[in-house]
Structure 1
């Protein structure tokens, strides 16, 4: 079985970030979004790694949505942590998967 270590690491980072956001500021939204996006990234990256080339659009779309959401939050708050960092990581990840598709 082929593992996408970069995709798995990014998915785990998102989950850990959501849990940390919950523990630090008692933010249920951080916990839910971290768990949902982290699980989606982890599952779709592994699915894309073990299936045909066309499935790399799945993690690309999830990363793009996450990057756009967090990018807009960064533009509103002007705080790099956590929104700017997640956007900075998610958008290149989406580009990575789009390039795998094409």
Structure 2
């Protein structure tokens, strides 16, 4: 069974990194967005093959939840940190 929510999550993360680069010229946003988006896509692939392979998806989404949650808490701005921390 294909993990469509996982692929949508991965695409959202990757596009967020690209958008951060285009809007603000942020190379770290591009790098981390593509890195975590790629990891999330790989995790979605592994989960699609065997639903018991969800540990990578859990780790990637947990790291993003913590990092972006802290950024949201410090900045008080919902976009993009608050939005990303509420995904998945």
**Is 1:60 paired with 2:72?**
no
Change (3 A) 1:9 1:52: closer
TM-score between both structures, scaled by the size of structure 2: 0.95
In structure 1, distance between residues paired with 2:61 and 2:25: 25
Runs of 4+ in 1 over 2 A off after TM superposition: none
Greater helix percent: which structure? 1
Q: How do 1:29-68 residues align onto structure 2 when only pairs under 5 Å count? A: 29-51=28-50, 53=52, 55-68=53-66
> What runs of 5+ residues in structure 2 fail to find an aligned partner?
none
> What runs of 5+ residues in structure 1 fail to find an aligned partner?
94-102
Change (3 A) 1:47 1:78: same
RMSD: 1.0
TM-score between both structures, scaled by the size of structure 1: 0.82
